[in-house]
Every structure is written in C-alpha cells, then in structure tokens.
Amino acid sequence: MLPRRQSAPALALPCCVVSTSSSKEATSTAAIQEDLHNSPTVSTSTTDGAGEQIMERLPLVCGKPQEASISDFLVSLLECPVCFGYMMPPIMQCSRGHLICSTCRQKLTVCPVCRVTMSNIRNLAMEKVASKLIFPCKHTHFGCRVRLSYADKKDHEDDCEFRPYFCPYPDEKCVWQGALKDVYKHLITSHENVITMEGSDIIFLATNVNLEGALDWTMIQSCHGRHFLLSLEKIHLGEGCQQYFAACRMIGTMRDASEFVYGISVEANNRTLKWQSKPRSIRESFVAFTNADFLVLNKSTVELFSEDGNLALNVIITRAEDINES
C-alpha cells in the first residue's frame, strides 16, 4: 500500500575551399586536374564563432562529393547546440550567425556559443535547406530507422512505436523513461511496493481499502509470456466522497494489448460483481482514461465486497482468440 503522492559546438554556414599552397601557384592546370582526379576527398572549411577552422572531408566520385554525404553533412549543420536535436523552421540565430532551435531560443537570453545577447532573427536560408533534407527520427537510439522530411517528422515521432515509454507506476514523482524492454525491470527494482504474481488467474488483494485519503495498489501479473500491470487507485473527490478505479494495462504496445481480454470479479456476502474489457497499453497513462474504460467502484460498493478492510479482486487474463474460438 502506498499513499498517492500529490501528486555545444559552434555552427556556421560551410564555405567550400580546395586547399592550395602559395608554392603551387605556378603549377599547371593539367597538374592540378591530375591531383584532383587522384584525390579521394575534398576539404570543406567551416569557421566557428572563435575564428577556428573546422575541416570536413567529403568523399568524391569522379571529383564530385557523393550526394548522400552532402545531405548528411547538411543535416549535421542543423543540430541544435543546446538540445542536440535537429532544428526545424523557424530556425533562429544570434547576431553573429550561430543557429539555435526555436524551442531552446525561448529559454535563452544569450547565445550558447558566443554569449552575445540573443536576437529574434530567423535564418531563412537554412530553413530552405531544411525543407529539402531528409532527417532521421529522433528515436533512432531506441531502434527506429525511419528517415523523413521535416514536414512529416513531428507527426511520425509523436506516434513512433520506438518512442520511449514513461514509468507506468501511479507516482507522479517518477520521471523515468526508457525502452519497452526495460519497463518491467524498472518497476520491480525501483518501486518496492510492486508485487509480482505468475498465472492467468490470480487474486489481487488490496489491503486497508477503507483508509482515508488517496491511495493506490499496484501489482504485476505475468502470463501468456507477457506482463500486465494491475492498478487499483482510490481518489478522494471531496468530503465523504471517494471512488476506486481498477484497470489492467499491458507492458507492451497498443497492438499487443488488443490481443488479450481481462476480467475482474469480486465476490463477498453472497454478492458477485464482474467486469470484462481489453487491457490498455502502458503507452496510455492511467490518468488518461480515468473517465473511460475501466472498473469504477464507489465507497459503499467497496464496503459491501470488502472483508476486514481488504478487497479481493479475481483477475483472469485470456487471449482474445481463445475466447472467439470458444
């Protein structure tokens, strides 16, 4: 039982330079062409805010940079020096030309590179460049391999199946987020009140349900090779008004969750109450559907079904295909 808690590197536009020394000024045109033909790379020079040259070497095919390499190079120029995400229009800059994304611009008063006072100047040239480039999804490090235009980037990332999961435990103070495969380990190692049980048919016992205030009970039910998060949450709505919300969420995607059905039943004093639904995915927060698809019990109902202040919920999880076949 747990009382619920009330809950950067400088960037600048590149200038292509083919390096030649003064001692070679007299070199014939034919010799220079031969040099270029035999050289696998060409140097590009970028000057940062401190006046230092940053040299980039790009591959050549028949004396011309490969198209993919140029695209990757331009994309790298659009990395924000503060959040390291890709800058999407509107792209802001300081008076010295250092770029910054519009989100970080709202949080800063001085340039993070050269420390001059930030302006509200937009770099329209780089915005046009951005509109022609293909960017990797920001969830690449979680496994996504999609590359798309900036116009489609946000919509994809908002619904990307590789985007990190937030901690599903009903604790507003837990800020953990990570890959789906790490959620179960996080829950059992970081939230000591979470108990685990094996089996598709178990009893979820919530103790001391009559205590005043907002409370929650949480456990993990493992069956069918998957993990399900069972939550009973008590919300205090006002003087003498309390409601209990019981739900089952799967530690998996929404598509995976749709393959199962769960049932909750409570029995006591010659009374039986049953509830059946499909589990939600932990991708959906508990709060997001507190007025939607889950079992709601008021205080008087809980008192009818509780014994010695404890409420026993029988939870059965089955595959949807098994129900359809029967």
Residue extents of the structural domains in the chain: 56-132, 193-325
Provide the pLDDT confidence category of residue 317 given band limits of 50, 70 and 90.
Answer: very high
The predicted structure's pLDDT at residue 214: 74
The predicted structure's pLDDT at residue 270: 87
Give residue-wise pLDDT tens across range 22-32.
444 434 444 43
Could you give the residue ranges of the DSSP H alpha helices within the chain?
29-38, 67-77, 102-105, 124-131, 150-159, 183-190, 254-257, 299-305, 320-325
Average pLDDT over residues 275-283: 92
Q: Which residues contact 322 (CB under 8 A, 6 or more apart)?
A: none
In the predicted structure, residue 152 carries a pLDDT above the cut 80: yes
This prediction has a pTM of 0.63
Mean pLDDT value across the chain = 79
In the predicted structure, residue 50 carries a pLDDT above the cut 70: no
The predicted structure's pLDDT at residue 34: 46
Q: Which CATH number fits domain 193-325: 3.30.930.10, 1.10.287.130, 2.60.210.10, 1.10.260.30?
A: 2.60.210.10
In the predicted structure, residue 49 carries a pLDDT above the cut 80: no
Give residue-wise pLDDT tens across range 71-88.
888 888 899 999 998 888
The pair of structure tokens assigned to 180 is: 């789906």
How far apart, in whole angstroms, are the C-alpha atoms of residue 193 and residue 188? 8
The predicted structure's pLDDT at residue 1: 39
Average pLDDT over residues 114-132: 91
What is the maximal distance between C-alpha atoms in the chain? 105
Distances (CA, A) of 108 to 78, 91, 92, 95, 127: 18, 14, 12, 14, 20
How far apart, in whole angstroms, are the C-alpha atoms of residue 49 and residue 11? 8
Provide the pLDDT confidence category of residue 283 given band limits of 50, 70 and 90.
Answer: confident
Q: Which CATH number fits domain 56-132: 3.30.70.960, 3.30.40.10, 3.40.47.10, 3.30.420.40?
A: 3.30.40.10
In the predicted structure, residue 39 carries a pLDDT above the cut 80: no
In the predicted structure, residue 266 carries a pLDDT above the cut 50: yes
Average pLDDT over residues 138-162: 87
Q: Which residue has the tokens 């004093």?
A: 269
In the predicted structure, residue 33 carries a pLDDT above the cut 90: no
- Write the burial class of residue 323 (CB in 10 Å: 0-12 exposed, 13-18 middle, 19+ buried): exposed
